[in-house]
Amino acid sequence: MAAEIGRSLLWLALPLSLYAAFASVWGIRARDARWAASAQRATNALAVLLGVGLLLLLVAFLSDDFSVRYVAQHSSTVIPLYLKISAIWAGQEGSLLLWCALQAFFAAVATGLPNEKARPLVPWATVFLNLISAFFLTVTVLHSNPFATLDVVLAEGQGLNPLLRHPGMIFHPPALYIGYVGLAVPFAFALAALVTRRIEGWTRALHTWMLVAWLGLGIGLLLGMRWAYDVLGWGGYWGWDPVENAGLLPWFTLTALLHGAVMQEERRGFHLWNMLLAIFSFVLVLFGTFATRSGMIASVHAYAQSNLGGYFLSAIGVVLVGSFALLISRRKALPSEAGPASLFSRDGMFYLTLILFSTLTVSVFIGSVLPTITEVLTSRRFEAGPAWFDRVTGPQFGLLVLILGVCPLLGRAAATLVRLRRRLWLLALGAVGAPLAAAAFGFREPVSLLGLGVVGLAGVVTVAELVEGAITRSRRTGEAPINALWRLLRLQRRTYGGYLVHAGVVLMAVGILGTRLYPFEVERTFRMLEPVDVGRYTLVYEGLRQEFVDDHVRTYATVSVYGERGYLVGLEPRLDRYTSGSQTLTTPALRPSVREDLYLILSGWSDNGEIATFKVVINALVNFLWVGGLVFLAGGALALWPHVRSRTWNLVALVVALSLLGGAVWAMWGATHGMILGGTGRPLVGEPAPDIRLTLLDGSTVSLASLKGQVVLINFWASWCPSCVEEMPALQAVWEAYEERGVTFLGVAHRDTQDAVEAALRQYGTTYPVGLDAGERVSTLYGITGIPETFIIDARGDLTLAHIGPITAEALSTVIDAALDMSDQ
């Protein structure tokens, strides 16, 4: 019944949205407020209707209603609750419903609660927003109905695609949708401004909405990047895939719009530019959804071929033609552009910024549709791979970062060489200091050093802006600089939010330079317990274990990581194989550090587990990217923070924001990502063996250091361990043979009692020294993971054998002979 009601609601929503649009037009034409009020009510009712529809879909998921086709395709009884919820947007129909609901909700809020400056634009904006809702509803209801039912009700659903079973999946699509859908609001209001010829104030009026959409897109993009990094297991975070680009394109134009808005509000023109940016932002949103859903663009991400492509393409056409017609008919209302006074001024830099964002948008767009373009032009299909994108966009990004750094140095007036001269030392510090520091740490690639110079410059300038602002204020008001800074953050949120965003960009640039210009990726086959040198690490494959969970098998591989100073951490990458279908999911393990991430992927293994293949990726400086991303988002949130007087409200909001930030930090660096902490690793063969002090049963102590010059055997065992006692006769025999030849045996009883040990020794006639491992110190030092384990150290103190499990007399003799030969030489 829930599904049936849901379907009716959708069918009611479509005519309702059309009514709202037409009622608003009627109200405008007839200057009749009653129709305007009716239109507003219809807009609100639409939001409620679709909200309830979404809720009904949720109910269908939670109640495992597999008569609904969409639920059957994306859910099952065994998946956890949070995934059942996020399955709503796992597929086409549900995500479209979410889009419609968000669209209606935003329309209702934007038109029902406009800020004062936007009020005159509301009636026309209502028209446009409801037309947009009507379009998406048409597509949903006619071609992509989430409430479609199956004739045969299945007992069990097909389950959620394993790649989507991750907490990141909860937030990534909704955040992106807030961005995409949110862009409809500035677009509709921009068109309304054109119609009513109120061009001057529209950006100020829509400032908050633009920031909301920007932040939504930003969070969605960064979440997507981190999710790909954590879960998808290919070691990277951005593939320049057309669907990824689809989220980036409107973000570019929106960022450009935000900068152009600053100019427009400072009465410096850019009106036409801002209009165009608002229009194209929305067109790119439509293009993005077209790219994902039409199947026309080959992509790892796209939904399979669907027939929605034509709809979105037509919508793009209508929007473009209509908007441009409107623009042309209102061209006289747009103030003529005075143009910036000089290139090397703030205005000039903003102008260049807008140009660069535009060229970036065009570049990425061309790259995404290159196969189609080249096929039409040259009848050969070219595809733009990551190399193409890096080459085309890299310099543009670099130039943008340079402008970011230079702009604050220029005043609002023209030529500011005076200001530059005073700050010269600052520029030098950043531009030269950063590359020098990097080179000192081993980063020597020339392009990266150039990039780091630009980044250093921009970083230093941005920090200087923050600091100078605080110092100036503190001088004026007598506050301490820290307080001054805090006050500025609270008072000039947009400006300081902007500085934080820029700082975030600078940090992200460092991360991008590191990962893109110092790539390191190898795929190697490891034999169990044999150390392999990779990069600056030594890796030892320890073994496999398997777990059976619900509908998949998890295989974990344990790898010990050693650095220059010894054992660092254990890593546990895993591979899940799903029993239905042959889908596999690799979850990498990673060890983050400031300098780089060590990223390990389990690729495959032999049947007996003796051999395993790993892909090792070392991502240089990647954590700068993630930290930068957080700073970036924090800046955006700050800019968005509303001025509310209530202290309680501010406190609560601050707590929420900080918790989210804390949550993000924890998710990235607090959670283990496959690290095994608390392990100690084992000594490596060929390296000096760790020194130990052992208290023997007779009370005397012996240390390894004191035995230098002798070949030493250390055997870890316990009286309660069957394999240990099995090998004791062999050990005794070998001991007797080598006792006089400069060989010492030490037995270490692990988790045992004095009496039991003495009993065992008597039973097997063991005569070599044995001690109890008090506090498990020796066992920990040698990193034993079980007993028995035997270690042999040669006369120089280096480890020459590390053996797990019972050992035979022959094997022992061989190794001891070899060690003795060596020490004789």
CB-CB contact of 40 with 28 (8 Å): no
Closer CB to other proteins, 217 or 571, in the complex: 217
CA distance 585 to 227: 13
Say whether residue 89 binds other proteins (CB under 8 A).
Answer: yes
Angle at 121 between CA 117 and CA 122, to 5 degrees: 105
Neighbours of 386 (CB within 10 A): 14
Kindly report the three-state secondary structure assignment for every residue of 6-70: HHHHHHHHHHHHHHHHHHHHHHHHCCCHHHHHHHHHHHHHHHHHHHHHHHHHHHHHHCCCCCEHH
Closer CB to other proteins, 527 or 536, in the complex: 527
CB-CB contact of 443 with 515 (8 Å): no
Q: Annotate each residue in 200-229 with x if it binds other proteins (CB under 8 A) or - if it does not, as one string.
A: x-------------------x---x-----
Residue from 17, 75, 95, 555 touching other proteins (CB under 8 A): that is 95
Least distance in Å: CB of 297 to other proteins?
A: 11
Which is nearest to 745 in space by CA: 716, 774, 713? 713
Closer CB to other proteins, 174 or 453, in the complex: 174
Residue from 80, 310, 317, 395 touching other proteins (CB under 8 A): that is 395
CA-based R_g, the chain, Å: 33
**Residue list 405-444, contact with other proteins (CB under 8 A):** none
CA–chain centroid gap for 359, Å, is 26
Least distance in Å: CB of 386 to other proteins?
A: 9
Which is nearest to 253 in space by CA: 275, 231, 224? 275
Q: DSSP 3-state assignment of 374?
A: helix
Closer CB to other proteins, 162 or 435, in the complex: 162
Closer CB to other proteins, 384 or 807, in the complex: 384
Say whether residue 511 binds other proteins (CB under 8 A).
Answer: no
Least distance in Å: CB of 38 to other proteins?
A: 5
Q: Is the four-CA dihedral 366, 372, 378, 384 of positive or negative sign?
A: positive
From 3-11, 661-669, 745-753, 812-820, span contacting other proteins (CB under 8 A) = 3-11
Least distance in Å: CB of 243 to other proteins?
A: 5
**Residue list 519-548, contact with other proteins (CB under 8 A):** 523, 525
**Residue list 262-321, contact with other proteins (CB under 8 A):** 288-289, 291-293, 295-296, 298, 300-305
Closer CB to other proteins, 176 or 212, in the complex: 176
Least distance in Å: CB of 343 to other proteins?
A: 5
**Residue list 450-509, contact with other proteins (CB under 8 A):** none
Residue from 416, 483, 492, 584 touching other proteins (CB under 8 A): that is 584
Least distance in Å: CB of 266 to other proteins?
A: 18
Closer CB to other proteins, 397 or 782, in the complex: 397
Q: How many CA atoms lie within 13 A of 163 on its CB side?
A: 12
Least distance in Å: CB of 783 to other proteins?
A: 28
Say whether residue 582 binds other proteins (CB under 8 A).
Answer: yes
CB-CB contact of 679 with 562 (8 Å): no
Least distance in Å: CB of 283 to other proteins?
A: 14
Least distance in Å: CB of 568 to other proteins?
A: 25
Least distance in Å: CB of 71 to other proteins?
A: 14
CA distance 636 to 496: 10
CB burial readout 303-326, b (16+ within 10 A) else e = eeebebbebbeebbeebeeebeeb
Least distance in Å: CB of 448 to other proteins?
A: 19
Q: Annotate each residue in 168-187 with x if it binds other proteins (CB under 8 A) or - if it does not, as one string.
A: -x--xx--x---x-------
CA distance 171 to 153: 31
CB burial readout 665-702, b (16+ within 10 A) else e = eeebeeeebbbbeebbbbbbbeeebbebebeeeeeeeb
Kindly report the three-state secondary structure assignment for every residue of 308-340: CHHHHHHHHHHHHHHHHHHHHHCHHHCCCCCCC
Closer CB to other proteins, 298 or 652, in the complex: 298
Closer CB to other proteins, 91 or 456, in the complex: 91
Q: Read off the DSSP letter of residue 687.
A: S
**Residue list 327-386, contact with other proteins (CB under 8 A):** 339-343, 348, 351-352, 355-356, 359, 362-363, 366-367, 370-371, 374, 380-385
Closer CB to other proteins, 84 or 493, in the complex: 84
CB-CB contact of 518 with 499 (8 Å): no
Q: Which single residue is written with the structure tokens 């531009």?
A: 431
CA distance 611 to 541: 9
Closer CB to other proteins, 613 or 650, in the complex: 613
Closer CB to other proteins, 195 or 219, in the complex: 195
Residue from 17, 21, 27, 250 touching other proteins (CB under 8 A): that is 27
Q: How many residues bind other proteins (CB under 8 A)?
A: 110
From 107-115, 389-397, 493-501, 622-630, span contacting other proteins (CB under 8 A) = 389-397
Least distance in Å: CB of 260 to other proteins?
A: 14
Closer CB to other proteins, 196 or 495, in the complex: 196
Which is nearest to 711 in space by CA: 629, 801, 771, 621? 801
From 121-129, 259-267, 626-634, 811-819, span contacting other proteins (CB under 8 A) = 121-129
